[in-house]
Amino acid sequence: MGKITQAQRTENYYKIYQQIYESPIRSISDISQNTGLSRNTITKYLQEMYTNGILVGPYIEMNPAKNYREYMHLLNFSDPFFAFNRLKGFPHVIDCSITFGDWNIIVVTDEYLDFSQLVGFQSVVASEVKGIAHPSKVEYSTWDECFQKMNKLIKEFTPFQRGTRERTEPYLDWGPDEWKLYHAFKSDLRQKVTPLLRKIKVRYDIYTR
């Protein structure tokens, strides 16, 4: 059997991604049956995709609730790289990213925080309760097709109009075990279940429910 080309490898990566996008906890055996790839190949490719940052998660996104909210902060710092490294381990910071444009730092927190006293702070562009995000399904296409589509989207771009519809927020009637499960699995649903449950001391029947 000849050596697989990079184009073939990329296409196989995409087949695996499609399966996980449709069902985040789909087993290796089911992915193998649906794609025609061997289980060993899928395991190998998944490891490569995670190692190289091609695939992340799959993760959990939550709508705001009366007893749990996340906040999105769009900020400017004089030295975004310094701020990014400081904020990564900051209490209540869930995620932090460096950007470019009208703001250079995005921070997601699980409590409302005031960043104005931090070294290098310049301004807050926006700071609001974070809604849920639905990542769109990635399409498999060539670079030329991607650039053509992006250029078309830029030319036809229409600014977002904020709606005025009132948002109703549920109350999460969760106990300690449910919160443990959420925080343990929110960044990656495909973690090995048994050792993680043992670590956070939650029974398997509660995880299944």
Dump the DSSP string for 93-144. EEEEEE--SS-SEEEEESS----TTSTTEEEEEEEEE-----PPPPP---HH
| pLDDT tens-digit readout, 113-153 | 999 989 999 999 999 988 776 777 777 777 888 888 888 88
Tokens describing residue 151: 């250029």
In a domain, 161, yes or no: no
pLDDT category at 162 given cuts 50, 70, 90 is: low
In a domain, 13, yes or no: yes
Q: Are residues 75 and 125 in the same domain?
A: yes
Backbone φ, ψ for residue 174 (5° rounding): -105, 145
In a domain, 154, yes or no: no
In a domain, 182, yes or no: yes
In a domain, 170, yes or no: no
From CA 74, how far away is CA 107, in angstroms rounded? Answer: 7
State the residue range of the domain holding 46: 6-51
Domain count, the chain: 3
| pLDDT tens-digit readout, 29-43 | 999 999 999 999 999
From CA 20, how far away is CA 129, in angstroms rounded? Answer: 29
Q: Are residues 119 and 81 in the same domain?
A: yes
Tokens describing residue 116: 């104005």
